[in-house]
Chains A and B, each alone.
Chain A
Amino acid sequence: MTPARASALRIETPEGVVFALQLASPVLRALAWAVDALVLAAAATAIGNAARVFAMFGTDWAAALTVFLYFAASMAYAMIFEWYWRGQTLGKRLLGLRVVDAQGLRLRPAQVVLRNLLRAVDFLPAAYLGGVTACLLSRKGQRLGDLAANTVVLREAKLLEPDVEQIAPVKYNSLLAFPHLAARLRSRVDPEAVRIAVAALAQRDGYEPPARVELFGELAAYLRSLVGFPEAAVEGLTDEQYVRSAVRAIYGK
């Protein structure tokens, strides 16, 4: 039985720290390849134009140069870019993808060359069918070239340091008057729900009024189901104000 395809590559360091790298989906990889194919087509046009200039010195040598340059460009394009940009071609850079060693180590020149030489087999029988099939069957989403070179393609999210001061400002948080209940809320809340609540608060002015009422109603109901604060703490709070206070309480503010 084929193992299920993972969406992330988990690596445990010798220090016992576990981190995850997001694997790129076959669709994103196909889009990056399409961009690279366009770049190569543009390079072929440029080589053709350059050959017309060289034809002044002899048509035979110009034709030979065209054949050789196009071959070199198609073979070396991905190798050179992936080495120089540490795992990225133009297409991968645009789509935010990067090739890395499957153990999370630095990409080596031998790995770059090998995975690109084996592209010839991944392309067979047509339109990367072999590569896509291998990618779908592999747990780490590896095409045949990746398997041989021990590489994976990651999706690089643009990660910026969060500005925690901007999370849900509130003048006075009545829930913090009950620190034991706030601590219970922190221990019970699902991190994913907190993430959704923070995102909802950050974009609250962008919602249609009925959708806004419904969204914060659901979030408030979930948070209320975790911990019951006394009436004195929640009196007069709308659902949105309750969510804002709860999020601030979770972050200790």
Chain B
Amino acid sequence: MILDLPRFAAAERVYWHELEALLNRLRLEPGWRMSVPEIERLHYLYERCSADLVRLDAFSTEHQMRAYVESLVSRAYAEIHETRAPAGKIHWGAFIAAFPRAFRRHLGAFRLAVGLTLAGCAFGWFAIRADPEAKAVLMPFAGLMQSPAQRVAQEESAGNAKTDRLHGHKASFSAQLMTHNIQVTVMTLAFGVTWGLGTIILLFYNGVILGAVAADYVGAGYGQFLAGWLLPHGAIEIPAILLGGQAGLVLAGALIGWGERTSRTERLRAVAHDLLAIAAGAAAMLVWAGIVEAFVSQYHQPVLPYSLKIAFGVLELAALSIFLARVGRR
């Protein structure tokens, strides 16, 4: 069977055009709030065009017309069946509170990220203590290849105002640190899509480097220098990378869905906002850490006493802990 297509098109064209105009307006003006009569009209037009599509499916051989009505129905479907609230104005209070709330909702994943990093630390520590020659393999970075004594002597002599090696480069150094660390954190999150394997490897490897550096400096008797050097920025930077790992593990958990009865799509949809809140929070922390690393961490005794730097780092860590534990609690 087939429709009398010209007559059918003549009768229905007016509704198709009306629906198309409505959909075009919705596309061009994302902020447009429809009144109740307008919503009712949209619903009516959607149902009418859906019925037309069914008739064209059953009775017509005209592909172009079918494709046209199908495109209208598919576009209207997205508007009619969307039950999630539209993104409106950003409320900064809620936006800031979303980060610690998301962190607390997935505390298990954060603990796992910390555990993996600590396991890496232990591995790096014992590897360096057992075989100091492994340093070149475990942390192949030019800045860490010197002996701790050489590095401390170099840092402390370069740290005064006259021989400031970062003079005229602090801002660009800071920007490079921020962008690099944000990239690392994003990668730690994104590797969650490898069912968590990539995230686990990255967290463990970060731990190995931290443990190896600590073993190297503490073993040589420069524990205070190391704490003064790392804590001012590390108190924020390391937790930020752990948060990236937490987000990666949450993503992996949603993909795997152990013991869950919901579909993968539903699980991913349920955690998407939390992932972004954690990633945005970690990125903001890394901007701060980059500033501190360029403008504070690179200065040592006698310019900045180690005790002051350590106290600053401890204070930052305490403030971060309070923020993550308390803010946004109802």
Contacts and interface: CB of A to CB of B under 8 A. Distances in A.
A161 B186 CA distance: 45
Contacts of A19: 53, 70, 73-74, 77
Nearest to A191: B61
Interface in A101-115: 101-106, 108-111, 113-114
A150 B1 contact: no
B53 A109 contact: no
A104 B78 contact: yes
B35 interface: no
Nearest to A145: B193
Interface residues of B, number: 66
Contact of B78 (A65, A101, A147): A101
B178 A162 contact: no
B196 to A, nearest CB: 12
A108 B61 contact: no
Given A120-B183, A148-B251, A187-B1, A64 B78 contact: no
Interface in B154-205: 168-172, 174-176, 178-179, 182-183, 186-187, 189-194, 198
A178 interface: no
Contacts of B63: 191-192, 194-195
B2 A186 contact: yes
Given A21-B74, A68-B178, A148-B255, A15 B47 contact: yes
Interface in B35-68: 47, 50, 53-54, 57, 61-65, 67-68
A86 B79 CA distance: 13
B2 A60 contact: no
Interface in A68-105: 68, 71, 86, 100-105
Contacts of A253: 6
Interface in A97-139: 100-106, 108-111, 113-114, 117-121
B78 A100 contact: yes
A175 interface: no
A194 B74 CA distance: 25
A17 B193 contact: no
B217 interface: no
Contact of A15 (B6, B13, B50): B50
A63 B176 CA distance: 10
A13 interface: yes
A53 interface: no
Contact of A162 (B68, B73, B168, B251): B68
A189 interface: yes
Interface string A1-33: 000000000010111111111000000000000
B87 A121 contact: no
Given A114-B275, A164-B5, A108 B84 contact: yes
A217 to B, nearest CB: 21
B326 interface: no
A207 interface: no
B70 A165 contact: no
A203 to B, nearest CB: 14
Contact of B2 (A64, A106, A250): A250
Contacts of B171: 58, 60-61, 63-64
Given A19-B73, A148-B193, A251 B68 contact: no
Interface stretch (B112-120, B121-129, B264-272, B304-312): B264-272
B103 interface: no
Contacts of B182: 71
B168 A59 contact: yes
B166 to A, nearest CB: 10
B265 A102 contact: yes
Contacts of A232: none
Contacts of A191: 61, 63
Contacts of B186: 117, 120
20 contacts: A13-B73, A16-B54, A17-B73, A19-B70, A19-B77, A59-B168, A60-B169, A60-B170, A63-B172, A67-B176, A105-B81, A108-B87, A108-B272, A118-B190, A121-B187, A121-B194, A160-B68, A165-B6, A251-B4, A253-B6
Given A118-B190, A195-B64, 5 more contacts: A19-B77, A113-B276, A164-B65, A191-B61, A194-B62
